[in-house]
């Protein structure tokens, strides 16, 4: 199979899984909970001060930031999606952290974009302690950023090790 096609299949599989899970969970919340309604199984009542499902709408960015910025974030989502689709095949096949991060971010951006285009707002529902209410797409974008940072850290660490190894090798050759 053509490498570029295979690369896109991997990207779109990750993003598609995130998009499907995000849209299904949002649909479930919209269908079963009234706006601002909460839910938690009775056997988890002890957890309610810390975590629960809350039906919430958001016209801003992830985690409720920058409310009323729907148009800006709709445009930004298209830009991010376009950039990921353009840049992805240029990423080295061995750079799995960047490829995974891009898939997670693409799926998250697409999940929230679908809401913005169809409803003019994003459905949020995961409420954890005092943290702003969020959804699967927001979590996917956040995890994608963390994976990206992990990848950068791993690359820097590997580069330092290679530099040390080369330096040691050069030192041994000059003595020998």
45 is catalytic: no
Strands 122-128 and 38-39: unpaired
Closest alpha carbon to 142 in 65, 70, 51: 65
Structural Rg of the chain based on CA atoms: 21
Q: Sheet with 122-128: list strands edge to edge.
A: 38-39, 51-58, 122-128
Residues 52, 39 contacting (CB under 8 angstroms) = yes
**Residue 98: which of 84, 79, 112, 110 has the closest Cα?**
84
Alpha-carbon dihedral sign for residues 68, 72, 76, 78: positive
Asked if 138 is an active-site residue, the reply is: yes
Tell me how far the alpha carbon of residue 62 is from its chain's centroid. Answer: 10
Marked catalytic residue, from 7, 22, 115, 138: 138
Candidate list 45, 95, 115, 124, residue with the active-site label: 124
Q: Which residues are catalytic?
A: 124, 138
């Amino acid at each position: 199979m053509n490498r570029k096609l295979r690369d896109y299949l991997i990207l779109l599989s990750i993003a598609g899984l995130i998009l499907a899970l995000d849209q299904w969970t949002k649909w479930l919340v919209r269908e079963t909970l009234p706006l601002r309604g909460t839910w938690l199984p009775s056997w988890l009542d002890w957890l309610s001060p810390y975590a629960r499902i809350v039906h919430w709408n958001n016209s801003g960015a992830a985690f409720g930031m920058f409310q009323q910025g729907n148009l800006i974030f709709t445009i930004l989502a298209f830009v991010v999606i376009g950039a990921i689709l353009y840049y992805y095949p240029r990423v080295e096949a061995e750079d799995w952290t960047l490829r995974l991060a891009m898939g997670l971010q693409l799926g998250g951006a697409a999940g929230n974009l679908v809401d913005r285009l169809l409803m003019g707002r994003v459905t949020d529902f995961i409420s954890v302690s005092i943290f702003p209410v969020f959804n699967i797409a927001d979590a996917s974008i956040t995890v994608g950023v963390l994976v990206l940072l992990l990848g950068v850290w791993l690359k820097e660490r590997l580069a330092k090790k290679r530099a040390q190894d080369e330096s040691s090798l050069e030192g041994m050759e000059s003595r020998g």
